[in-house]
Structure 1
Amino acid sequence: MHFSAVCFFLGILFSSFPYDYNVIWTTPEGPRDVYFNILEDHLKFLHASPPIISRILHIVIGTGLLGFLTKLYKASQANMLFDGASLVLYMAGITVYITNIVKGLRVVTAGIYGNVDIKEDENADDYISREDTLRVFAASNTILALVLVGVLVLQAGQWYALRKEEAEIKEIEEKEQERKAAGKKKQ
C-alpha cells in the first residue's frame, strides 16, 4: 500500500523533472528566462487543474501514511527500525510537499513573488524574486524525490533483511535435522 503511494508520488515528480532540470541543473545557452517561463506556465497549469486531481493525490498520500501506520501496529523489531525510519522520511516528504510545493504553486499562480508594489514597501525584504521562487520549487521537487527514494531503499533493505533472516533460519533448521538424523543412525 505504501510502496504504491511512494511510486505514484515519484511518478508525478518525474513528470516535472524536464521542467525543473533547466532551472536548477544546467545553464543552457540562450535566454534563461525561457525556461523559467516554461516552468511557470507548467505550474500555473497544474494549480488550475480540476480539484479531483489534487484529491486523488491527497488520497494516495493518505493511503501511504495509513500503510506505514498499519505496518507499525504490533510491529516486530525489524518493522520498527525500517518502517519507523521510512515513516519519518515519508513525513519529511509530506512536510516538504505542504510547505514548499503547495505554497509554491499558490505563489506562482498568484504571481506575487518579487512584486513589492502589491504590498507595502516596509515588507519588501519578505519577498524573493521570481527566479529564486522557481528554483526553490524545482529544488523542493528534487529533495522530495530523494526523500521518497530513501523510503524505497529502506523498504528494499527491510525486504532483504527478512529474506536473509529466513534463509539463515532455514539453514539452521536443516543442520539441526541432519544432526538429529545422524544421532538416530548411531543408535
Structure 2
Amino acid sequence: MAAGTFGTFLIIGPVCFFLGILFASFPYDYNVIWTTPEGPRDVYFNILEDHLKFLHASPPIISRILHIVIGTGLLGFLTKLYKASQANMLFDGASLVLYMAGITVYITNIVKGLRVVTAGIYGNVDVKDDENADDYISREDTLRVFAASNTILALVLWYALRKEEAEIKEIEEKEQERKAAGKKKQ
C-alpha cells in the first residue's frame, strides 16, 4: 500500500505542475482560438508568438526541469503498476495511456510548434504555382494548433488527475470499511 501511495504522490505532483503551466498559457491561447475580439486580431497572434519565442529562448535548465517532472510522473505510474492488483492494473494502465497521450501531444505539437514559431518558418500560403501549396500551414493556423494542443493537454491531464483522485478516495473508503469490520470482530 505504501508504494501505491508514494506512486500516487509521484503522479499528482507532476500533473498539477503541468496544469499550472497550461493555466498560465491560457490568457495567450484564449483570444487565439475561442474569441474574436474587436480590433486587429493580429495583435493576439503577435502576443502569443512573442510569448512562445520567449519560452523557447529560456535557459536549458527550464526544459530540463520540465523533463525531470515528466519522468517523475512516469516513475509514479511504473511504481503503481509494480505488483498491482488486477483492478489497479486496469485503472493505472488507463491513466498511464492518458499520460502518454499528453507526452505525445507535448512532443509532436508543442516542442515542434516552439521550434517552428521561433524559426518563423511558417508555410508560404502565397505560393500559387507550387504543387504542394495545400501542404503549407499559415502562421495563424500554426499558432491555433499550438493553442489547441495546450487545451487538449490540459483536458487529458485534468481527466487523469480526476481519475487518480477517485481511485484514492475508493482505496481510502475500502481501508476504512476494513478497519470498521476489524473493530466489529473484536
> TM bucket by the smaller chain?
0.7 to 0.9
User: 1:26 Cα deviation (Å)?
Assistant: 0.7
Q: TM-score, normalised on structure 2?
A: 0.73
Residues 119 and 88 (structure 1), Cα distance of their counterparts in 2 relative to 1, 3 Å cut: farther
Residues 169 and 131 (structure 1), Cα distance of their counterparts in 2 relative to 1, 3 Å cut: closer
Residues 183 and 124 (structure 1), Cα distance of their counterparts in 2 relative to 1, 3 Å cut: closer
User: 1:58 Cα deviation (Å)?
Assistant: 0.4
1:58-106 deviation per Cα after TM superposition (whole angstroms, max 9, x unaligned): 0000110111011001101231122111000000000000000000000
User: 1:35 Cα deviation (Å)?
Assistant: 0.2
Unmatched segments (≥5 aa) in structure 2: 1-14
**Residue 21, structure 1, aligned to residue 30, structure 2:** yes
Worse-superposed segment, 125-134 or 15-24: 125-134
User: 1:127 Cα deviation (Å)?
Assistant: 1.7
Contact 1:112 1:118 in 2 (8 A): no
Residues 70 and 166 (structure 1), Cα distance of their counterparts in 2 relative to 1, 3 Å cut: closer
Structure (1 or 2) with the larger CA radius of gyration: 1
Give the whole-Å Cα distance in 2 for the aligned partners of 1:183 and 1:116: 71
Aligned positions, number: 172
- Partner in structure 1 of residue 95 of structure 2: 86
User: 1:126 Cα deviation (Å)?
Assistant: 2.6
Contact 2:99 2:156 in 1 (8 A): no
Contact 1:101 1:140 in 2 (8 A): yes
Q: TM-score, normalised on structure 1?
A: 0.72
Unmatched segments (≥5 aa) in structure 1: 1-5, 146-151
RMSD of equivalent CA atoms: 6.2
Residues 185 and 99 (structure 1), Cα distance of their counterparts in 2 relative to 1, 3 Å cut: closer
Contact 1:104 1:133 in 2 (8 A): yes
Residues 168 and 113 (structure 1), Cα distance of their counterparts in 2 relative to 1, 3 Å cut: closer
